[in-house]
Amino acid sequence: MKVAVLGAGAWGTALAGHLATRHDTKLWARDAALIDSLSRTRENTRYLPDVKLPAALAFEADFAAVLGHASADDALCVVATPVAGLRELCRASRQAGIVPAHFVWLCKGFEADTQCLPNEVVAAELPEHRSNGTLSGPSFAREVGLGLPVALTVASASAELAARTVAAFHHGAMRIYTGDDVVGVEVGGAVKNVLAIATGISDGLGLGLNARAALITRGLAEMSRLGVALGGRAETFTGLTGLGDLILTATGDLSRNRTVGMQLASGRTLDEILAALGHVAEGVRCARAVLSLAQSRGIEMPITHVVCRVLFDNVTPRYAVQALLSRDAKAE
């Protein structure tokens, strides 16, 4: 199968390496200097250092050429940009006159200014396209790059897209499950990043494992309430793309969003943290959108609310924790 991966961040690079062990795979980045470095070193020293990429993986800086590689009916295009770049990429594809027949996106979050989920962005920009969906689940790019086991879910209304995604990714140490709850999968992938900031704050303040377990459990309740209100199914949030991704992101040391929370707890400013991080922390980007959507629907999300206050209102982490603890008792 011919596969194109659009976006050479850590996750796109790791998945391109996995795909190239079985398929004719090209990895694209808009930064020609990055493509040159990848070609020379076969390593993404910027985003995924110390992970060697397969000799079969090809690199491409020409956008039209990489789209052409994945435009056939028996090919697959994998969109590995952040949510903030998804709309632009869809427009660029349409303007180039090459819209891949089948594509799956990896981005997690809400578009900050529109509060759209990725599937809503794609539907707005490519309204006639049908064979598309999202690939998500508990996964750190470094572990995938090193060939460690991982399980992901592809969610799509198209059985053909789901089957093509399974054929592309389901081999080696990677297991792919299928489903059709695109909204539920995307809400889980977005909200877990905000909740991971909360657990990072808790861990950074040394509040203990009891507090972390409580935040994860009550955070899952917040995620589920919002997801169901937006059209997702409740059972999705107890699966890989809900609880599974939440546990990983909220507890794993490789989690960028958890790192943001821990560093906020240490007294660093958000600007300092993001400047040093070098990667996108989607929880910061979409926290306001999550809270706004919840408030517009009358949904209580107290953990998300205090995370937003710490991120954007100069509320100290300790004060935010006290605000949570002082809430009135209620039935679970």
Instruction: For CA atoms 20, 5, 52, 172, give the dihedral sign.
Output: negative
Q: 105 — alpha (psi -120 to 50), left (phi > 0) or beta? A: beta
Of the candidates 209, 196, 193, 190, the one whose C-alpha atom is nearest the C-alpha of residue 261 is: 196
- Whether 2 sits among the annotated catalytic residues: the reply is no
For the chain, the 3-state helix, strand and coil shares in percent, each to the nearest 5, are 55, 15, 35
- Contact at 8 Å (CB) between 197 and 307? yes
**Integer Cα distance of 206 and 27 in angstroms:** 41
Among residues 26, 52, 192, 330, which one is catalytic? 192
Alpha carbons 207 and 183: distance in angstroms, whole number? 33
| 285 closest CA partner among 210, 224, 197 | 197
Q: Which of 89, 85, 84 is nearest to 115 (CA)?
A: 84
Q: List, as one string, the DSSP characters of 162-218.
A: HHHHHHHH-STTEEEEEES-HHHHHHHHHHHHHHHHHHHHHHHTT--HHHHHHHHHH
Strand 76-79 and strand 2-6: the pairing is parallel
Question: What b/e sequence results for 68-107 when a residue is b if at least 16 CB atoms lie within 10 Å of its CB, and e otherwise?
Answer: bbbbeeebbbbbbbbbbbbbebbebbeeeebbbbbbbbbb
Catalytic residues: 192
